[in-house]
Amino acid sequence: MTRAALVALAALIAVSSPLVAQRAGKPPITARVVSNEVINLNSATATQIATLPGIGLKTADLVVQYRTKNGPFKKIEEIMNVRGIGEKSFLKIKDRLSVGEAKK
């Protein structure tokens, strides 16, 4: 195998690794766990909210900030008041959301 082929193979393995891929001069890319668990918007952490399809940690943090500022969600549609979550995003995640009583 030529040196170029070995380098290409090593790059392919690094990029396709499901756990961590190192990038020159940049932080590692880590896999995000997505589950089918129903998320209670009134008690979930940002990490739990980030398991929703299409919702990253930054947007999940905004959901928690919104809840802190405005109080508990009364209906799941209120999540569309959070910057970064529009109707298309909501339609993808609505079956995974609840607004039951917040855990104390």
CB 24 within 8 Å of CB 35: no
pLDDT at 99: 95
- Alpha-carbon distance 65 to 57, whole Å? 12
User: Which is higher by pLDDT, 101 or 21?
Assistant: 101
pLDDT at 76: 97
pLDDT at 26: 59
- Alpha-carbon distance 83 to 16, whole Å? 32
pLDDT at 7: 57
> Residue 29: which H helix or E strand, with range?
strand 26-30
Could you tell me the fold of the domain covering 39-98?
DNA polymerase; domain 1 (1.10.150)
The model's pLDDT over 37-93, given as tens digits with 9 standing for 90+, comes to 899 999 999 999 999 999 999 999 999 999 999 999 999 999 999 999 999 999 999
For residues 15-36, give the mean pLDDT: 54
